[in-house]
Every structure is written in structure tokens, then in C-alpha cells.
Structure 1
Amino acid sequence: MEIKLDHLQQVVDASGKNTPTLKTLKNLWSLMYDYAVIHEIVPPDKRDIVKYVDISKPGNPNSFDRKPFSKKEIKALWDAHESNQYLSVVLMLIYTGVRIGELLDLEKKDIHLDERWFYVKESKTDAGIREVPIAEKIVPFFEYWMQKECDHLICTPDEEPFLYRNYYDSYWTPLMQQMNMKHRPHDTRHTCVSLLTEAKVDERIIKKIVGHKGQGVTQIVYTHVDLPYKLEAINLI
């Protein structure tokens, strides 16, 4: 009852989140106020404050803190990956450029290991809907996880799908501490882009591999045409 428009706006302005997340947040608030009105917690006109929350200036202050894994760190991950099955997930993220949510949501039915690609059918952006090539060096990791009794590729020790928070708190954070590294999952995406750029891969191919939002709508097409070029590119790193 005491929440005012300024309070909601401060949450948005300080969140550092981008447009898709802010839209979800605003929708959540709308549902909360609908509930509050139905149960006579607030008067009907109170819920109108949500429509006036401005989400037109998204931003991510953490983006400047993101840094790619160094060559030394990548080598350390390769050297240690057999000690923990979840270290392979870090390398899979680095060599595919997918967002952590995209990998955790990936179902086995969308993986075509014989042709070395998988289909991301849900993403935070339209450009994220794409075919992702599988580099030869991480094929064994995909083969390993494909053997698990779970519909999703990456699963918990109980062979259940992961929720992001569970993965981040119980696996990512301890692994980074174990490896004496300070990285967030999104750093793997930056690493992939950096490695592809260093390998002099055409920027247009890089965007199609990682589903970068900078690509035009006409380029966002579910097609095999670009797959050979993507495979050639990803195997350079």
C-alpha cells in the first residue's frame, strides 16, 4: 500500500537489466497489483502506477566488468576437466558461445551430434533462435551428457534439469573458487567471441554463431545454409 511510482522506478533504474527482463518485471508487477485489487489490499486506481514505470532506458552496469577467460585459464580448465564433470559445462559454454540459460534449457531432441550442431529454440532475443555448431574438441562432452537419463542435455547428479540459481550457486561458484578464477557464466560468451575474432572469423559468421542481437532480422533464419561456415569457424578456436 505504501509503494509509490518512484519506488518502482528506482528498482528499474538500479537493476542494470535489459529490455526483455524489464518487460517481465513490469508484467509481474501488473499481476501482483491485480491480485492486490481483487483481494482489496489496494484500491483499483493504485494498480495504474505500473503502467507509468519507464523501462525505455535499459542498461547493464555489470557489462563492463565482464572479461573473457584467458588462454592460461582455458588451458587450466582443459587440464582439470576430468576431475569434475561440471567443468566440461564451462568448456562447452566457451566453445559454443551460448548463454547459460540456453545451454541449461537445451533438450536432447534438439541436438544433432552426427551433423555437429544443435538448435536453440528459446532465447532472450529473436537473434538467439539459431543453429549452433559443435566444435570437434567438445564432441566428447556432448556424448558424455547425452548418455544421462534426462530429457535435457545438462542435468543434476540426480539427472534432473537445472534451474539457473541452483546451477550458479551450487556448481558454477564452487568451481570458480576451486579453479581460483573470478568469472560469471556470461564471460564464456565473451570468450567465444574473442577467440573467434582472434581467429579472424568474419564478423557476420560470429554473430550467427552466438546469436548476437546486432544481426538484422533478415539474417535470423533457421537454415542449414550457414552451417558449414559456422562449423569451419568454430573449429578454428
Structure 2
Amino acid sequence: MRKPNGYGSIKRLSGTRRRPFVFVVSEHGRQKPVEYFATQVEAEIFAADYNKIHRNRSLPGHKITFAELYHRWITRHIADTSPSDSAITGYRNSYRHCSVLHGMEYEKIKYQDYQTVIDGMRRSGLSYSSLKKVRSLISLMAFYAIKIDMPCRNYAPLLSLGRNKPVHPHKTFSRQKINRLWSIANHNGVDTILILLYTGMRVGELLALQKSDINLRQQIIRITHSKTAAGIRIIPIHHRIQPFITYRMQSSGTYLITDSNGRSYDYSRYCLIWRRIMHDIHADGHTTHDCRHTVATLLDNAGANETARRRILGHAGGDVTERVYTHKNLRQLRKCIELLK
């Protein structure tokens, strides 16, 4: 579609740049850059909004595409809910899976178009979790479309994902493997796995821990960043991992888990440590999430109080009574965590 005179234009700059697209307007016969963008879609959205605000004009017959709606939604969603970095990455991956829809007018996308995307992902062998994330994105975008008065229907609840067949079924660590970890506890990185096995933390929660989240006097860990609201919690420090926590607190850097240079770990870099240690103890195939399954299983086997166990693991309560009226103090949580041997 040809832009009207004075609308401005979008150009792609040469070279390797983080934001190669620029929106420019003409002033006194010269082009003036207004803003830079990572993608052309983001630049197009900015140009449309800029002209509405500053020049009170819109493109005639303009129809919002799936791509434009996504970029408008993700900006609003981040501003409103402050999702975690992992959640934002999940949204972006789901958006890429919907590439065949990007250029389509959003109002014309129907159930079969979405189901075709899901079916293609299933044929490609993508996980059930990936399918759920795409369905969730479709639903969130539909609710946003309704908010901005676009005529549409939310097809997400109608989509068929097929059966959930776990690609990597979770399994618990045996006592023998845990003892092997203790036998090499002084090896680099082994302490982080034992911390996971005696706290029930998610690996992302562990890597996000800052030293300010640790209270050595009270012997507690405060989880301030988690994938769920229930994940924001306090975990008593088990006496067996207390020396590891104390030692890590004395290292350089603001994060609890750092390398020798004081740099924190992202998940990909930490997995290199994980795989090396798993190979050393003959536990290849175990995933980091198996630590949470192990803690949950061992506490259940030891007869731990169910509510205390949920609090430690960061699971939502099972019913209204448990969620609203049941409170467990630090002493009860510590009694629960010390059931781990």
C-alpha cells in the first residue's frame, strides 16, 4: 500500500545492527530519524501511531495483521504484568511457530488456520508444552483484540493438542546417586545440585538468587523471582547444605551462584556443569527438574505435612481452605525440610 505524502517512511540500515529499521519524517526538506526498531513490523506500528498522534491521519483501509496485533499486545502485556524473561522468550518462540499467520488479517483468521499451526508442530515432533504455549498466546491475543474493540472470536479453547506424551519423563534420584554426589561434594558445581536436592528450588530460581535473598542469621532463602505467584516463598536452609550457602556468600558478585570471575549463570551455561556432573555419577539422562521431583517424593515418603510441603516447593494450595486460611510458620517449614536425609 502506497503511503500518503508526509506520512514518513521506514528504511533498513546497512551493516549488522541490533535495531536496523528506522522511521524517518521529512522536516525542512531533510529526512529526520525519529526512532529505531529491531523489526519492520514494530516500525510500521510506531509509524501508524505516530501519524495518529502527531498528524491526525491513518492509512486508508488499513487492516491489522496477526503480526501487528502480536507486537501491540506484547508491549502492553509486558507493561501490565512484568512477566519473567523466560515467559517473554516463550511468547516469542510461540509467535515464531505461527509464522504462516503473520501476514494474515487478524479478523480473517479462523479455527482451521490455528489448528493447522498446531498440527504442523505435532508433525514436527514438538512437545506438548510447546503446543500449550502457542494455544495460550492465541488466547491472550484474542482477549487483547476484544479489549481494543476488534471483532473476533477466541478459538483457543477449541484447539486440539492431542495426547500429552512426555518426551523426557521425570524420574527421582536414587539414594545411591545422592550419596555419590556427597562423595564428590568438593568438586566444582556439585554443591549447586545438592542445594537443589535439599531445597526443591527450580533451577531458574537458584540461578536468579542474589546474596541479598539469603539470611544466614535466620538460615532462610527468600525466592523473589519465580514462574508462578505461589513460587514467591521462603525456604529454610537444610543443615547439610548450610556450609555450601555460607561459602557461596563469600564469593565475588551479587548472585549466589557465580563462576570464578563472579559472573552469574544462564540456564544454557549451567547445563554444561549439570551434564558433566551427571556423567561423573553415572546419572546421564537426569534433568534439573528431577531434583524437584526427588524432593517432593522424599518428603511425601517421610510423611511431611502436605501444606508445608507445598509451601516449600512453591505449589499452589489444593483448595480454598488451604490457600486462604492455613498458615505455616518458619519452625514448621524447617521441620518439614529437615525430613530430607
TM-score of Structure 1 vs Structure 2, range by shorter chain: 0.7 to 0.9
Contact 1:126–1:220 under 8 Å retained in 2: no
Gaps of 5+ in 2: 1-98, 102-112, 142-151
The equivalent position to 1:9 in structure 2, one of 87, 108, 118, is 118
Map Cα deviations across residues 173-208 of structure 1 (whole Å, 9 max, x no partner). Answer: 121112210310000001111111122111111111
What corresponds to 2:316 in structure 1? 213
What corresponds to 2:227 in structure 1? 124
The equivalent position to 1:140 in structure 2, one of 243, 252, 256, is 243
Map Cα deviations across residues 115-147 of structure 1 (whole Å, 9 max, x no partner). Answer: 111111121122111111110110001011111
- Once the two structures are superposed, the pairs formed by residues 160-171 of structure 1 within 5 Å of their partners are 160-168=263-271, 170-171=272-273
User: Which of structures 1 and 2 has the bigger CA Rg?
Assistant: 2
What corresponds to 2:61 in structure 1? none
| Worse-matched range after superposition: 150-159 or 61-70 | 61-70
TM-score by length of 2: 0.55
The structure with more helix, counted as a fraction of residues: 1
Residue type of the alignment partner of 1:142:
I
Contact 2:136–2:156 under 8 Å retained in 1: no
Map Cα deviations across residues 77-127 of structure 1 (whole Å, 9 max, x no partner). Answer: 00011122x111000000000100011111111111211111111211221
Contact 1:201–1:233 under 8 Å retained in 2: yes
Residue type of the alignment partner of 1:105:
A
1:6 is displaced (CA, Å) by 4.2
The alignment status of 1:79 with 2:188, answered yes or no, reads no
Identity of aligned residues (%): 32
Residue type of the alignment partner of 2:282:
N
The residue matched to 1:119 in structure 2 has which SS? strand
The structure with more strand, counted as a fraction of residues: 2
CA distance in 2: counterparts of 1:138 and 1:59, whole angstroms? 40
1:12 is displaced (CA, Å) by 6.5
The residue matched to 1:152 in structure 2 has which SS? coil
CA distance in 2: counterparts of 1:112 and 1:63, whole angstroms? 38
What corresponds to 1:26 in structure 2? 137
Gaps of 5+ in 1: 31-47
1:109/1:180 Cα in 2 relative to 1: closer, same or farther (>3 Å)? Answer: same
- Once the two structures are superposed, the pairs formed by residues 45-194 of structure 1 within 5 Å of their partners are 52=155, 61-62=165-166, 65-84=169-188, 86-168=189-271, 170-182=272-284, 183-194=286-297
CA distance in 2: counterparts of 1:203 and 1:152, whole angstroms? 31
1:219 is displaced (CA, Å) by 5.3
CA distance in 1: counterparts of 2:135 and 2:225, whole angstroms? 15
What corresponds to 1:201 in structure 2? 304
1:64/1:129 Cα in 2 relative to 1: closer, same or farther (>3 Å)? Answer: same
The residue matched to 2:217 in structure 1 has which SS? helix
Larger relative contact order (Cα-Cα within 8 Å, sequence gap ≥ 6)? 1
CA distance in 2: counterparts of 1:235 and 1:218, whole angstroms? 26
1:57/1:6 Cα in 2 relative to 1: closer, same or farther (>3 Å)? Answer: closer
1:16 is displaced (CA, Å) by 2.5
Contact 1:127–1:220 under 8 Å retained in 2: no
Contact 1:17–1:58 under 8 Å retained in 2: no
The residue matched to 2:251 in structure 1 has which SS? coil
Q: CA RMSD in A?
A: 3.4
The residue matched to 2:129 in structure 1 has which SS? coil
The residue matched to 2:118 in structure 1 has which SS? helix
Q: How many residues align?
A: 215
